[in-house]
Amino acid sequence: MSTPQTQLRADLHSGTAALLDSCFKLIRRYVVLSADQLNVLAAWILHTWAIEAADFTPYLHITAPEKGCGKSRLLETLEIAVRNPVKTGGMSAAALMRTVNAQQPSLLLDEMDATFQGDKDVAQALRGILNEGFRRGGNIRKCVGPNHDVQAFHVFGAKALAGIGKVPDTVASRSIIIEMRRKTPTESVEPFRVRDVREGAMPLVESLASWSNSETMEILRGTRPKFPDGLTDRQQDISEPLLAIADLAGAEWPSKIRHSLTALFRSAESEDSSLGVNLLRDIRSIFGIRSGKDSDKIYSAELANTLCGIEGSPWAEWDKGRGLTANTLAKRLKPFHISPLTIRTGAETGKGYKRDAFTDAWDRYLAPMPIAASSPVTPPVNIEDYSPFTTVTSTFAADKSSHEKPHQSSVVTAVTPLTPLAGKNSVERFIEGAF
């Protein structure tokens, strides 16, 4: 026989899973993304409502190779669902700093490439906010007023950045990369009309506000999720709040979020901007495909030539197109405490490298080699199987002391995750009862 406390916990599990499902389908309705990206974005939306329970926050770096890939549309969709959204377009540096300090908003930054290349004061303020704002307690001290009094501006909070190209390394290390592409003629989304979408999503927003009450925050604060293998310390920090939400939801969400985070981090790792890390990664790949008796060693000139032959790498264009040489290779590897030595293959000797000389640097600077994932990849959602928004009233009690007037609404209802049409399998609905 279940106790009231057990029933409350079951309701919370079911409600969290239903909210994740609804956020997943809301984004997929208007933006074409992979299932891994949609999983992480759904958890991130809930994280913005549970920010007070987190010690770290993962930034979203929404990027694409060209315009017209849906970056702004994704930000517009997130703006509908996240807690206290604020877009930064046209803000002065002072307004930006004071807004973040006073409101702790979910900051949505579009055209990041233009922002960093634009007004110097705004770019400097934004860089400081991003460098310090991923950790609870992060602040920037500024002199204010006629007496130049020192004031601490608190800048911790959820942030999503959209733009073409890369962001500073310090920001990239705090981010989950959402790489977007233009949709193909066979990929479809529904028309995005802000007023209609906002009205349709209001029950979801109200349910998110109801979910983010003091009991939920207490449970999330006490959660210590297990991290997937292969994540760096910083990746573990920014993954923790998403994993806590996934574990709270239960069902398939813990395995889905762990799989999706691992996939996105590995994809980002392959795009690491550090030349030194790229060099180590390419050398690891070269040793990985060598075979035979002397596969654990390679001459310096051979290694340099092989690196130059890697398509898409910078090594062939090194030194104004003259290519990477054995001497330059030795200089690039020296900071990693890797130096050439005399090696022998058969009857020949010469300067080269042994595989063992790289293992320490590989362990320290590279993610482990990819391993086939054991968790299944969630299939894309067929949006034609779901009707827009169907709501059901509920008795979920919101703690309004934490989130007053979410999106200026005082009505709290539950949302039924985009209800399947007749004849389809039903999506789990909220269980009636107070969180």
Residues 320 and 344 in one domain: yes
* Confidence at residue 370, expressed as pLDDT on a 0 to 100 scale: 59
Please indicate, yes or no, whether residues 124 and 184 belong to a single structural domain of this protein: yes
Domain limits for position 355: 275-365
Q: Are residues 67 and 148 in the same domain?
A: yes
Residue 143 included in any domain: yes
End-to-end C-alpha distance for the chain, whole angstroms: 19
What's the confidence (pLDDT) of residue 273? 53
pLDDT at 164: 82
pLDDT at 106: 94
Residue 396: inside a domain, yes or no? yes
Residue 22 in domain: yes
pLDDT of residue 149: 79
Q: Are residues 130 and 29 in the same domain?
A: yes
Do residues 124 and 14 share a domain?
A: yes
Q: Are residues 226 and 351 in the same domain?
A: no
What pLDDT does 371 receive?
52
Do 151 and 174 belong to one domain?
Answer: yes
pLDDT at 312: 78
Instruction: Report whether 241 contacts 54 (CB < 8 A).
Output: yes
Note whether residue 232 is domain-resident.
Answer: yes
Instruction: Report pLDDT for 409.
Output: 37
Residue 213 lies in a domain: yes
| Residues 360 and 330 grouped into a single domain | yes
pTM to 2 decimals? Answer: 0.69
Low-confidence ranges of the chain (pLDDT < 50): 372-435
Tokens read off for 389: 């928004």
Is the domain of 244 the same as that of 296? no
- Are 350 and 235 members of one domain? no
Task: Judge if 237 and 121 occupy the same domain.
Answer: yes
Is-contact 209 412, C-beta < 8 A? Answer: yes
Asked if residue 425 belongs to a domain, the reply is no
Q: Does the residue 370 lie in any domain?
A: no
- Report if residue 435 sits inside a domain: no
Count of domains for the chain: 2
Are 64 and 195 found together in one domain? yes
Name the residue with tokens 């008795």: 395
CATH number of the domain bearing residue 124: 3.40.50
